[in-house]
Structure 1
């Protein structure tokens, strides 16, 4: 994961839309099929760099980390999905189409890994190529990004425990949402990837969590034996955050909520909440937890005495990735309560970025 995170900075697109390649890491360029007449390699855009980064990552992880082929293929496919999602014009790209058009015929991709063996990197990916058919694969981008960054941070010279704790919390929150997804079915490709990310997170926390007193656990992965029909859900079986809130509010109303906000006014805090109490009935409200958490932390960081631009940029990127998933949700319907909350979080994020 450290190597995966490191390669992320090799090339990127700035907020102004400018494509940049870090000249310190030009070794990645030799895996491009774009060799000019002078004998040097030059990748001219994000697509080309993403293509050769897949070859570079395969070779690096195979030689340096000695990964098993199945795991190597999973990581590289997750990387490809994540990297394409990072750049808006590429976010809707079909992985199989990208693979066919930009990777499959790369000469380095089809070379033998060892001279005395017939195996190529293409053979390794082809064993897991069906992962590219998961239409929900972009849902894992945030987990993959956070996990890579956490591995990088725990192996750094200076530990920032506050940052590590925040990222671990974000990972756990996103994971909780993903295990509730109806695609989490025993034996499915969706569950295979979720299991890999879950195991890697637990291994990291078990090994390094005590350095920062992090014990942020995640729920055990218990996939359904078959898809659960929404019509079978009962009020007794859906212990969502909305039901918890509805249970809690009456208790609160006994105390502070009925009090007037101002002595010369009739408005109470209960009146304010009651105007939006229907939001508590949104069964998907827990999906917004990660966005709300990241946004709160970003506001806190931007108002601090010492700016950590790298941290802020990483959190802003996580916010954007999660937001992209949420706007694709079928509940995002004009005039719906779901869309109202999404709009509020979007406006607050844009106001923050525009100001700071």
Structure 2
């Protein structure tokens, strides 16, 4: 994250607000660069008539402004970080504007963005932008940059949109900081608000290391800690908790029973044998008691007969 990226989002809110009760201070089509991404009408003019048209145009504008036109100066990690934030905004605004035609970003991408030549064929770089992207990252073109982030593309719109508030607060911190450590004190209040939002997000019980939720949370925490490190000697920010990765429950572990091994196989007959022995003992008890009873009865009769014999001899 940097203040330039956040500045673009601030500019965006002037002509396409992120709150329903706010009116734009600039007409949407007065931004010529965004208008260039609107559909071409029969008259030959480009115009975004629906919210979906506007959202698609803004997505492409954000992508061009923050990634394509800056690719020569971005670090290796920044393109992926920036696309994460653009997708967070996209999820949030789709939910805000109640666009229910799509379940996730992958669907809107396939239907409206994938084959758009405005970001596939571009001439904003001194040399081919795709070559520069390939030199900096493992991606061969900007289309692949989006599609390779499949983790974020397939998340439910309702799930990822909750990250937008934390992202917006963090962006305000970067704008206040403006690349100058003397501005750190301006960020302190927003830092407290960000930590609260972040810790609330971190309480989600569904965080796993390979989830889009984890990817978004990790991106936010990294950018917060980067700014925190720059301001520590001037205006220390509160620390954030480490991401709580939740291990699957015991029920799921039981379902994923490992293949039998020699130790497990050896233990099973042992338990069975012990059980057989115990049951055999209980089954044998009545049998032996019966024998003992018969033997004692036989002995009792023998003793009685001997007693009568001695009595007769005395007579």
Does the TM-score normalized on the shorter chain lie above 0.5? yes
**CA distance in structure 2 between the aligned counterparts of 1:88 and 1:145, rounded to whole angstroms:** 18
**CA distance in structure 1 between the aligned counterparts of 2:46 and 2:232, rounded to whole angstroms:** 42
**CA distance in structure 2 between the aligned counterparts of 1:209 and 1:39, rounded to whole angstroms:** 55
Q: Secondary structure at the match of 1:218?
A: coil
Q: Is the 8 A contact 1:172 1:218 kept in 2?
A: yes
Q: Secondary structure at the match of 2:98?
A: helix
Q: Is the 8 A contact 1:154 1:208 kept in 2?
A: no
**CA distance in structure 2 between the aligned counterparts of 1:115 and 1:178, rounded to whole angstroms:** 36
Q: Which has the higher helix share?
A: 2
Partner of 1:89: 98
Partner of 2:214: 191
**CA distance in structure 2 between the aligned counterparts of 1:179 and 1:16, rounded to whole angstroms:** 29
Please, what TM-score do these two structures have when normalized by structure 1?
A: 0.53
Q: Unaligned 5+ residue runs, structure 2?
A: 135-139, 252-315
Is 1:143 matched up with 2:137? no
Is 1:29 matched up with 2:38? no
Partner of 2:62: 57
Matches within 5 A, 1:149-188: 149-155=172-178, 161=185, 164-188=187-211
Shift of 1:156: 8.6
Higher relative contact order, structure no. (Cα contacts within 8 Å, ≥ 6 residues apart): 2
Partner of 2:261: none
Partner of 1:109: 119
| Structure 1 residues 21 and 99: CA distance shift in structure 2, 3 A | farther
How many residue pairs get matched? 225
Please, what TM-score do these two structures have when normalized by structure 2?
A: 0.60
**CA distance in structure 2 between the aligned counterparts of 1:150 and 1:156, rounded to whole angstroms:** 11
1:86-138 per-residue CA deviation (whole Å, 9 max, x = no partner) reads x3423885323322232223221332672774943221100003312222212
Shift of 1:36: 4.1
Q: Secondary structure at the match of 1:180?
A: coil
| Structure 1 residues 16 and 79: CA distance shift in structure 2, 3 A | closer
1:69-95 per-residue CA deviation (whole Å, 9 max, x = no partner) reads 43343232223123334x342388532
Is 1:218 matched up with 2:240? yes
**CA distance in structure 2 between the aligned counterparts of 1:99 and 1:182, rounded to whole angstroms:** 29
| Structure 1 residues 229 and 22: CA distance shift in structure 2, 3 A | farther
| Structure 1 residues 58 and 214: CA distance shift in structure 2, 3 A | same
Partner of 1:66: 74
Q: Is the 8 A contact 1:205 1:215 kept in 2?
A: yes
Is 1:48 matched up with 2:56? no
Is 1:6 matched up with 2:39? no
Is 1:129 matched up with 2:150? yes
Shift of 1:214: 3.9
1:281-303 per-residue CA deviation (whole Å, 9 max, x = no partner) reads xxxxxxxxxxxxxxxxxxxxxxx
Q: Which has the larger radius of gyration?
A: 2
**CA distance in structure 1 between the aligned counterparts of 2:232 and 2:249, rounded to whole angstroms:** 35
Q: Is the 8 A contact 2:203 2:244 kept in 1?
A: no
